[in-house]
Amino acid sequence: MIVRYLDLETGRKAEDRGLSEFRLTEGNWSCDCNRRIPFDGVSGADTCDGCHRFIVYDVEAEDGDEPFSAVDVIREANSEYYMRLRAV
């Protein structure tokens, strides 16, 4: 899956590839710790950064991906970011 992120602090956008729906919504890419990697190449794996900064704004299937609903994946991927998004 191709994932496109928006940095809520800077407005920058970045793209990541090869993620599964599970990794994006429930796994290591479900919070800012690893979502920051496409922006600066550094993981925040030492401490959890929470769900405040990097939201998913688009997803796209890659060859070999299981079928999925982009709307459902984006909604689930950002579900922990809800309170932050209400303030934007």
Query: How would you write the chain as a 3-class SS string?
Result: CEEEEEECCCCCEEEECCCCHHHHHCCCCCCHHHHCHHHHCCCCCCCCCCCCCEEEEEEECCCCCCCCCHHHHHHHHCHHHHHHHHHC
Backbone angles phi, psi at 25, to 5 degrees: -100, -30
Model-level pTM?
A: 0.85
pLDDT band at 87 (very low <50, low <70, confident <90, very high): low
Percent of the chain whose pLDDT exceeds 90: 58
> What's the average model confidence in pLDDT over 5-29?
93
Residue 82, pLDDT > 70, answer: no
pLDDT digits (tens, 9 = 90+) for 36-47: 999 988 766 666
| CA nearest to 29, candidates 1, 60, 10 | 1
Helix (H, G, I), strand (E, B) or coil at 74: helix
